[in-house]
């Protein structure tokens, strides 16, 4: 299974724990901030932001929190100036890691990220060391519970989708070129199809298979990086077999 869908599955299994420790709001807030940073704060003109806000409302995030996350992304938060950076490096097993960071204090953030990486089997690299391994794509997921696969497949392709996958246990995945993401997501909504999530993301062109201690250490590192406040998104190129994941799950 690919790194994208496998990591999504792992994160979903952790959702109940995340909610208990208050991480649900943090994760959704990051999605809103990143979407508003990339596409502006107008939900009518920014499909990724619209979908992120829908997700925020589904976990009962207060309106003030949503507005604050939008302003953080657009740079309109009074008294604070946020800048975005991309940092690159490697994790256990030689897995590529690319971090999208939004911070008001680069001098604080970079050493802390470097420490997180080095302490957990990874290291930050030079700019461009792994960026070339990824390409920008639009990713839209639709729950299998509420959708007919054939109808969804035909509708998505008619709207301009680039690819379609039913590999995930719970969701169908629709992949688009970046320029068609807005049209496809809006078209699906207008067709009455409920979108579970949608975002512009970076997909790896090649995968690195990991197992054993490397797999355990990598997943722990990714969890720590995603929990770090200034990191908006974590992209990676690992893949892990289902049998291997079952063996290491008790250690996570």
Q: What is the pLDDT of residues 145-187, one digit of tens each?
A: 878 899 999 999 999 999 999 888 889 999 999 999 989 999 9
CATH topology of domain 83-132+207-251: Alpha-Beta Plaits (3.30.70)
Residue 41 corresponds to which tokens in the numbers above? 């704060």
Neighbours of 14 (CB within 10 A): 14
Q: How many helices (H) and strands (E) does the chain have?
A: 10, 10
Residue 214 corresponds to which tokens in the numbers above? 């490397």
State which CATH number among 3.10.129.10, 1.10.10.200, 1.10.10.10, 3.30.1550.10 fits the domain covering 3-74. Answer: 1.10.10.200
For helices 23-39 and 63-74, the axis angle rounded to 10 degrees is 40
Distance of alpha carbon 92 from alpha carbon 98, whole angstroms: 14
The residues facing 231 across adjacent strands are 101
pLDDT of residue 4: 53
Distance of alpha carbon 175 from alpha carbon 53, whole angstroms: 21
Rg (CA), the chain: 18
Q: Which of 45, 66, 219, 235 is nearest to 139 (CA)?
A: 235
Domains 3-74 and 134-204 share a fold: no
Distance of alpha carbon 52 from alpha carbon 116, whole angstroms: 27
**For the range 75-80, what are the long-range contacts, defined as Cβ-Cβ under 8 Å and sequence gap of 24 or more?**
76/41, 80/104
pLDDT of residue 9: 62
Distance of alpha carbon 77 from alpha carbon 73, whole angstroms: 9
CA dihedral 161, 166, 171, 173 (to 10 degrees): -20
State which CATH number among 3.40.50.720, 3.30.70.980, 3.40.50.300, 3.20.10.10 fits the domain covering 134-204. Answer: 3.30.70.980
pLDDT truncated to tens, each residue of the chain (252 aa)? Answer: 455 555 666 665 555 555 554 667 777 888 898 889 888 999 888 988 998 898 888 888 899 999 999 998 888 887 777 788 999 999 999 999 999 998 889 999 999 999 999 999 999 999 999 999 999 999 999 999 878 899 999 999 999 999 999 888 889 999 999 999 989 999 998 999 988 888 888 999 999 999 999 999 999 999 999 889 889 889 999 998 888 788 777 666
Distance of alpha carbon 102 from alpha carbon 71, whole angstroms: 12
pLDDT of residue 135: 95
Centroid of chain to Cα 38 = 14
Q: Which of 137, 236, 135, 145 is nearest to 196 (CA)?
A: 145
Sequence ranges of the domains in the chain: 3-74, 83-132+207-251, 134-204
């Amino acid at each position: 299974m690919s790194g994208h869908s496998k990591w999504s599955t792992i994160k979903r299994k952790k959702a109940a724990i995340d909610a208990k420790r208050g991480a649900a709001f943090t994760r959704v807030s990051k999605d809103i901030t990143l979407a508003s940073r990339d596409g502006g704060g107008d939900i009518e003109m920014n499909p990724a932001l619209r979908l992120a806000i829908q997700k925020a409302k589904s976990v009962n995030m207060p309106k003030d929190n949503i507005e604050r996350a939008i302003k953080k992304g657009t740079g309109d938060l009074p008294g604070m100036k946020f800048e975005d950076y991309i940092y690159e490096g490697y994790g256990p097993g030689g897995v590529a890691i690319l971090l999208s960071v939004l911070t008001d204090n680069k001098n604080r953030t970079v050493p802390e990220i470097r420490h997180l990486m080095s302490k957990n089997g990874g290291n930050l690299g030079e700019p461009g060391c792994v960026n070339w391994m990824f390409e920008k794509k639009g990713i839209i997921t639709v729950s299998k519970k509420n959708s007919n696969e054939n109808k969804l497949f035909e509708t998505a392709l008619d709207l301009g989708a680039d690819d379609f996958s039913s590999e995930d246990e719970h969701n169908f995945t629709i992949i688009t070129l970046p320029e068609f993401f807005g049209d496809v997501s809006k078209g699906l909504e207008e067709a009455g199809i409920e979108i579970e999530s949608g975002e512009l993301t970076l997909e790896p062109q090649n995968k690195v298979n990991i197992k054993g201690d490397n797999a355990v250490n990598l997943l722990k590192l990714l969890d720590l990086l995603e929990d770090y406040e200034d990191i908006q998104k974590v992209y990676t190129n690992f893949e892990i077999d289902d049998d291997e994941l079952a063996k290491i799950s008790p250690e996570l």
